[in-house]
Amino acid sequence: MQPHLIDAFQRYGLPVRINADNGPPWGSTRQAEHGLTPLTVWLVRLGIRISHSAPRHPQTNGKIERFHRSLKDEVLAGRSFTDLPQAQAAFERWRRTYNHERPHDALGLDTPARRYAVSPRRYPDKLPAIEYPQGYTVIFGSWNSQARFKGRRLTVPKALFRLPIGVRPDSLEDGCFDLYFCHHRFMRVDLRTPSTTP
Protein backbone atom coordinates (compact mmCIF):
# COMPACT_ATOMS: atom_id res chain seq x y z
CA MET A 1 0.00 0.00 0.00
CA GLN A 2 2.69 2.51 0.99
CA PRO A 3 4.62 2.34 -2.33
CA HIS A 4 1.37 3.12 -4.22
CA LEU A 5 0.65 6.04 -1.90
CA ILE A 6 4.19 7.37 -2.40
CA ASP A 7 3.67 7.26 -6.18
CA ALA A 8 0.37 9.13 -5.86
CA PHE A 9 1.80 11.71 -3.43
CA GLN A 10 4.82 12.37 -5.65
CA ARG A 11 2.55 12.90 -8.64
CA TYR A 12 -0.38 14.75 -7.04
CA GLY A 13 0.96 16.12 -3.75
CA LEU A 14 -0.19 15.40 -0.21
CA PRO A 15 -3.86 15.47 0.76
CA VAL A 16 -5.02 17.35 3.84
CA ARG A 17 -7.02 14.35 5.07
CA ILE A 18 -7.61 10.69 4.27
CA ASN A 19 -10.90 9.16 5.38
CA ALA A 20 -10.39 5.41 5.67
CA ASP A 21 -12.38 2.36 6.59
CA ASN A 22 -11.94 0.48 9.85
CA GLY A 23 -9.78 -2.44 8.81
CA PRO A 24 -6.12 -3.15 8.13
CA PRO A 25 -3.92 -1.39 7.24
CA TRP A 26 -5.82 1.72 8.34
CA GLY A 27 -6.72 0.91 11.93
CA SER A 28 -9.16 -0.95 14.11
CA THR A 29 -12.39 0.06 15.82
CA ARG A 30 -11.31 -2.06 18.79
CA GLN A 31 -8.52 0.39 19.63
CA ALA A 32 -8.68 3.93 20.95
CA GLU A 33 -9.33 6.36 18.10
CA HIS A 34 -9.20 3.35 15.72
CA GLY A 35 -5.59 2.70 16.69
CA LEU A 36 -2.47 3.71 14.89
CA THR A 37 -0.85 1.31 12.44
CA PRO A 38 2.57 1.59 10.79
CA LEU A 39 0.79 3.01 7.73
CA THR A 40 -1.20 5.64 9.64
CA VAL A 41 1.88 6.59 11.71
CA TRP A 42 3.70 7.32 8.45
CA LEU A 43 0.75 9.33 7.11
CA VAL A 44 0.45 11.34 10.32
CA ARG A 45 4.18 12.10 10.16
CA LEU A 46 3.57 13.50 6.68
CA GLY A 47 1.05 15.92 8.23
CA ILE A 48 -2.01 14.13 6.84
CA ARG A 49 -5.08 13.99 9.05
CA ILE A 50 -6.63 10.54 9.37
CA SER A 51 -10.33 9.98 9.94
CA HIS A 52 -12.40 6.81 9.81
CA SER A 53 -15.85 6.06 8.49
CA ALA A 54 -18.46 4.95 10.99
CA PRO A 55 -18.57 1.14 11.22
CA ARG A 56 -21.30 -0.40 9.04
CA HIS A 57 -22.33 3.06 7.76
CA PRO A 58 -21.23 3.39 4.11
CA GLN A 59 -23.07 6.71 3.88
CA THR A 60 -20.09 8.19 5.79
CA ASN A 61 -18.27 7.87 2.48
CA GLY A 62 -21.20 9.01 0.36
CA LYS A 63 -19.06 10.41 -2.47
CA ILE A 64 -17.30 7.07 -2.94
CA GLU A 65 -20.55 5.11 -2.73
CA ARG A 66 -22.08 7.42 -5.37
CA PHE A 67 -19.02 6.96 -7.59
CA HIS A 68 -19.30 3.16 -7.27
CA ARG A 69 -22.99 3.31 -8.17
CA SER A 70 -22.23 5.35 -11.30
CA LEU A 71 -19.45 2.95 -12.30
CA LYS A 72 -21.72 -0.04 -11.80
CA ASP A 73 -24.68 1.48 -13.67
CA GLU A 74 -22.72 3.00 -16.55
CA VAL A 75 -19.88 0.54 -17.16
CA LEU A 76 -20.60 -2.80 -15.54
CA ALA A 77 -24.44 -3.00 -15.76
CA GLY A 78 -24.67 -6.69 -16.58
CA ARG A 79 -21.73 -6.58 -19.00
CA SER A 80 -19.02 -9.16 -19.16
CA PHE A 81 -15.62 -8.61 -20.69
CA THR A 82 -13.62 -11.12 -22.71
CA ASP A 83 -10.31 -10.07 -21.14
CA LEU A 84 -8.65 -7.41 -18.98
CA PRO A 85 -7.65 -5.13 -21.90
CA GLN A 86 -11.30 -4.94 -22.99
CA ALA A 87 -12.39 -4.10 -19.43
CA GLN A 88 -9.62 -1.49 -19.12
CA ALA A 89 -10.68 0.15 -22.39
CA ALA A 90 -14.26 0.43 -21.06
CA PHE A 91 -13.00 1.97 -17.81
CA GLU A 92 -10.82 4.45 -19.70
CA ARG A 93 -13.73 5.61 -21.91
CA TRP A 94 -15.95 6.04 -18.86
CA ARG A 95 -13.25 7.85 -16.89
CA ARG A 96 -12.91 10.40 -19.71
CA THR A 97 -16.67 10.98 -19.74
CA TYR A 98 -16.96 11.08 -15.93
CA ASN A 99 -14.08 13.50 -15.35
CA HIS A 100 -13.99 15.69 -18.48
CA GLU A 101 -17.39 15.73 -20.18
CA ARG A 102 -20.32 15.09 -17.85
CA PRO A 103 -21.37 17.92 -15.51
CA HIS A 104 -21.83 17.03 -11.82
CA ASP A 105 -24.59 18.46 -9.65
CA ALA A 106 -22.29 18.52 -6.62
CA LEU A 107 -19.89 20.77 -8.58
CA GLY A 108 -22.50 23.26 -9.74
CA LEU A 109 -22.71 21.45 -13.11
CA ASP A 110 -18.97 21.74 -13.63
CA THR A 111 -16.73 18.77 -14.47
CA PRO A 112 -14.23 17.28 -11.99
CA ALA A 113 -11.34 17.99 -14.37
CA ARG A 114 -12.15 21.72 -14.35
CA ARG A 115 -12.18 21.79 -10.54
CA TYR A 116 -9.16 19.61 -9.89
CA ALA A 117 -5.79 21.05 -8.91
CA VAL A 118 -2.62 19.32 -7.76
CA SER A 119 -2.08 19.73 -4.01
CA PRO A 120 0.35 22.51 -3.14
CA ARG A 121 1.66 20.27 -0.32
CA ARG A 122 4.60 18.42 -1.88
CA TYR A 123 5.80 14.98 -0.81
CA PRO A 124 9.00 15.56 1.23
CA ASP A 125 12.38 13.93 0.61
CA LYS A 126 12.45 12.83 4.26
CA LEU A 127 9.99 12.68 7.13
CA PRO A 128 9.94 15.79 9.31
CA ALA A 129 11.22 15.62 12.88
CA ILE A 130 8.61 14.90 15.54
CA GLU A 131 8.28 17.92 17.82
CA TYR A 132 5.71 18.96 20.39
CA PRO A 133 4.79 22.44 21.60
CA GLN A 134 5.85 23.81 24.96
CA GLY A 135 3.67 22.45 27.75
CA TYR A 136 3.58 18.89 26.41
CA THR A 137 5.31 16.04 28.26
CA VAL A 138 7.06 13.58 25.94
CA ILE A 139 6.91 9.85 26.66
CA PHE A 140 7.87 6.88 24.48
CA GLY A 141 6.10 3.70 23.45
CA SER A 142 7.88 0.50 24.48
CA TRP A 143 8.20 -2.92 22.80
CA ASN A 144 5.18 -4.26 24.72
CA SER A 145 2.76 -1.47 23.71
CA GLN A 146 3.20 0.29 27.02
CA ALA A 147 4.19 3.80 28.02
CA ARG A 148 4.55 5.26 31.47
CA PHE A 149 3.12 8.58 32.59
CA LYS A 150 2.94 9.90 36.16
CA GLY A 151 3.41 6.43 37.59
CA ARG A 152 0.70 4.91 35.44
CA ARG A 153 1.24 2.26 32.79
CA LEU A 154 -0.67 3.09 29.60
CA THR A 155 -1.44 0.80 26.68
CA VAL A 156 -0.51 2.55 23.43
CA PRO A 157 -0.50 1.34 19.79
CA LYS A 158 2.35 -1.01 18.88
CA ALA A 159 3.15 1.23 15.93
CA LEU A 160 4.44 3.85 18.39
CA PHE A 161 7.34 1.68 19.59
CA ARG A 162 10.29 4.00 20.35
CA LEU A 163 8.43 7.02 18.97
CA PRO A 164 7.77 10.19 21.00
CA ILE A 165 4.23 10.69 22.25
CA GLY A 166 3.09 14.14 23.34
CA VAL A 167 0.97 14.36 26.50
CA ARG A 168 -1.03 17.56 26.90
CA PRO A 169 -2.92 18.45 30.08
CA ASP A 170 -6.57 19.37 29.70
CA SER A 171 -6.88 23.03 30.63
CA LEU A 172 -10.44 22.56 31.91
CA GLU A 173 -10.23 19.26 33.79
CA ASP A 174 -7.51 18.64 36.37
CA GLY A 175 -6.05 15.16 36.12
CA CYS A 176 -7.07 14.67 32.47
CA PHE A 177 -4.53 14.44 29.66
CA ASP A 178 -4.72 13.94 25.90
CA LEU A 179 -2.09 11.81 24.14
CA TYR A 180 -0.94 12.82 20.68
CA PHE A 181 1.26 11.41 18.01
CA CYS A 182 2.32 14.51 16.09
CA HIS A 183 -1.02 16.29 15.45
CA HIS A 184 -3.14 13.13 15.90
CA ARG A 185 -4.93 12.74 19.24
CA PHE A 186 -5.29 9.03 19.92
CA MET A 187 -6.06 8.66 23.62
CA ARG A 188 -7.31 10.37 26.75
CA VAL A 189 -6.08 9.63 30.27
CA ASP A 190 -8.02 10.50 33.39
CA LEU A 191 -5.75 10.08 36.40
CA ARG A 192 -8.75 10.48 38.71
CA THR A 193 -9.94 7.00 37.63
CA PRO A 194 -8.11 3.67 37.43
CA SER A 195 -8.62 3.29 33.69
CA THR A 196 -7.97 5.17 30.45
CA THR A 197 -10.59 6.09 27.89
CA PRO A 198 -10.45 6.80 24.14
Q: Which SS3 state, helix, strand or coil, does residue 173 take?
A: coil
Q: How many domains does the chain have?
A: 3
Q: Is residue 131 part of a domain?
A: no
Task: Tell me the average pLDDT of the chain.
Answer: 89
DSSP 195: S
Q: Is residue 128 part of a domain?
A: no
Write out the residue range of the structural domain in which residue 93 sits.
Answer: 59-111
The pLDDT of residue 197 is above 60: no
Q: What is the pLDDT of residues 32-68, one digit of tens each?
A: 555 789 999 999 999 999 988 777 666 666 777 888 8
- 18-32 average pLDDT score: 74
User: CA 116, CA 11: separation in Å to the nearest integer?
Assistant: 14
> pLDDT value at position 59?
65
The pLDDT of residue 12 is above 60: yes
Are 13 and 41 contained in the same domain? Answer: yes
Q: Could you give the percent of the chain with pLDDT greater than 70? A: 91
Q: Which SS3 state, helix, strand or coil, does residue 73 take?
A: helix
Q: Is residue 193 part of a domain?
A: yes
Q: What is the pLDDT of residues 116-166, one digit of tens each?
A: 999 999 999 999 999 999 999 999 999 998 999 999 999 999 999 999 999
> pLDDT value at position 193?
84
Question: Of 156, 141, 145, 144, nearest to 196 (Cα)?
Answer: 156
Compute the chain's Rg from CA coordinates: 21
Q: Is residue 126 part of a domain?
A: no
Are 51 and 67 contained in the same domain? Answer: no
> pLDDT value at position 54?
73
User: CA 13, CA 118: separation in Å to the nearest integer?
Assistant: 6
Helices marked H in 58-123: 62-71, 84-96, 112-115
